[in-house]
């Protein structure tokens, strides 16, 4: 019962992220870790953008 549209590699969605999502669906505790991970990546990305824009 997998939704194939989830497997499309759009907007930087890679197999690593898909694996994380599948794990999350099986283990709700993973959601907190996943959100934390996303926030960290977002902050790093914002810092990189600031450096580029200087």
Position 45 scores a pLDDT of 83
At 10-44, the pLDDT tens digits run 555 677 777 877 877 887 776 777 788 888 888 88
- Whole-number pLDDT of residue 22: 83
Query: Is 5 a residue whose pLDDT tops 60?
Result: no
Asked whether residue 9 carries a pLDDT value surpassing 50, the answer given is no
Residue 51 pLDDT greater than 70, yes or no: yes
pTM score of the predicted model: 0.38
Residue in 14, 12, 34, 10 with CA at minimum distance from that of residue 24: 34
Can you tell me the distance from the alpha carbon of 52 to that of 54, in angstroms, rounded to the nearest whole number?
A: 6
């Amino acid at each position: 019962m997998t939704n194939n549209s989830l497997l499309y590699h759009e907007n930087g969605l890679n197999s690593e992220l898909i694996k994380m999502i599948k794990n999350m669906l099986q283990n709700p505790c993973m959601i907190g870790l996943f959100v934390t991970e996303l926030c960290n990546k977002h902050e790093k990305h914002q810092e990189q953008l600031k450096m580029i824009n200087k």
